Amino acid sequence: MRRICQTAILSFVSILVGGVGSGCAKKQPARSGDEPAMAATTQAVMHAPQTMRPKTMRPKTMRPKAPPRPVVVDPDPPASVLPKAAQLPADAEALLKKKHLLSFPSRFNGKVHVKQKGRVRSLYLGRRMDIVHTRLNLDRPADLISPYQQCLLLGFGLFDHPRAQVKRVAMIGLGGGAITRFFQLKRPNLVFHSVEIDPMVVAVARRFFGVLDTPGYRSYAMDGRRFIAEAKRPYDVIILDAFDAEANLPKPLASQEFFQLLRRHLSPKGVLITNILVYNRRIYATLLKTMQTVFPKVLRIPLRSFRTHNTLLLAPKDPGQVADLKKLAGRIAQLKASFSVSFPLDRCLKVANTDKVNLDGAKVIRDKKSPAPMTTKPR
C-alpha cells in the first residue's frame, strides 16, 4: 500500500515538474541530475502541512433584550384582614334568614345588629335599636334610600368635570356601606377607601351588605384620623360620615386640627363632604365655626324639608368652587345623567344656605378642649 501511494505521489510530482506519467504505470527512469531534485520535492510534498478550508461562521443573531418591566408600587395599603374576634359564622346568612335578627359582640359598639324584614336589611349599633345606621334593599342594591345620601352627590357638582377630576375618594365611617356600594356599582374604576374603626362593622358590611374589596375599592378597620394622616397620596373627595353607637359625632373628628389634616390631604380642587345631624343649634354653630377656620367657604345643605335632621356641609379646598350657585344648578342635569339617578338634586340645592346660623360667641373646637359631641339620630 505504501509503495502504491508513493508511486502515485511521484506521478503527481512528475506532472508538476513537467514529466509525463499515468497513474501507477511503470516508473520511468529518471534522467541523470534530476533524481536528487525530485526526491527533495517528494519529501517536501509528503511533509507539507495540510491546510484546512476555513469554516464559514454564520454571525449570531442577537435578540434584543426586552426592557425591564417597571416596578409598580401600590401607594395604598391593602384592605384590612380582620381579627379573629370579628370573624362571622360560616352559616351567618342562613341564620339571618331563619331568625331575622342577629347580634355580634363589638369592642367599640357593644353589639352590632343585623335585621332582615322581607327583602330589606338594616344595621343597628349598640343599645339603640331605634336608630337605623344603614338600610339595604336586596333587590335594588344601588339605591340610596336616605335623603342625605342622595343630596351628597351635590358635592361632586362642585367639579367642572367630575368624571375626569374625581379619581380618589376616602370615606370615614363605613356603617353598612350604602354609599360605598353605590359608587362601586356606578363608578367601578374609582379608587374608593372606606374606613371604619370597628372591625365587626366591617365584617358585617362585607358579609351582609355587599361591600366588596377590589383593587380599587378597599375597606379598612382602623381609626379614620390615623388613616388620613398615613395616606401617601391626596384624595379628590373626602366624605366624613362617622357616628358612634349613640349616633354622636366623635370628638377627634370635629376639631380644628382634624379639619386641617383633611385639608392637607385633599387635592388642589378637592372637596370635603360632611354629614351631621343637627339638634342643638349651639353645637352646630361651634362645629361650623371650627370648620370655617380651615375652609373659608362652606356650602350648607339643611335637609329639614326632607323630614330629617341631617345637614350636609360641602367645603372645597378652593373657595371659588362655590362662588356661583347658579353655575352649580346648571350642572345638576348632567350630574344626574352621569350617575344614572333620578334624585331631586335641584331640590337639595334650593335649600342651600337657607338655615340661619348665629356664630357669635361660638367657640372653636380644639383637640385638647372639645365641647360635648353633637347628638345625632338615624341616618
pTM of the model: 0.78
Kindly list the domain boundaries of the chain, sorted by start residue.
Answer: 146-350
For residue 32, how many other CB atoms are within 10 A of its CB? Answer: 6
Judge whether 225 and 264 are in contact, CB under 8 Å: no
For residue 251, how many other CB atoms are within 10 A of its CB? Answer: 16
pLDDT in single tens digits along all 379 residues of the chain: 545 555 554 454 454 445 444 444 444 554 545 555 555 555 554 555 555 565 666 666 667 777 777 666 788 999 999 999 999 999 999 999 999 999 999 999 999 999 999 999 999 999 888 888 899 999 999 999 999 999 999 999 999 999 999 999 999 999 999 999 999 999 999 999 999 999 999 999 999 999 999 999 999 999 999 999 999 999 999 999 998 767 677 889 999 999 999 999 999 999 999 999 888 889 899 999 999 999 999 999 999 999 998 999 999 999 888 778 888 999 999 999 999 999 889 999 999 999 999 999 999 999 975 444 544 443 3
Using CA atoms, how far residue 178 sits from 121, 173, 184, in Å, is: 11, 11, 10
Backbone angles phi, psi at 116, to 5 degrees: -125, 130
Tell me which residue of 379, 327, 317, 378 sits closest to 352, measured CA to CA. 327
DSSP string, 207-228: HHS-----SSEEEEES-HHHHH
Tell me which residue of 308, 302, 299 sits closest to 273, measured CA to CA. 299
Query: Chain centroid to CA 250: how far?
Result: 27
Give domain 146-350's CATH number out of 3.40.50.720, 2.120.10.90, 3.40.50.150, 3.50.50.60: 3.40.50.150
Can you name the residues that pair with 170 across neighbouring β-strands? 193, 238
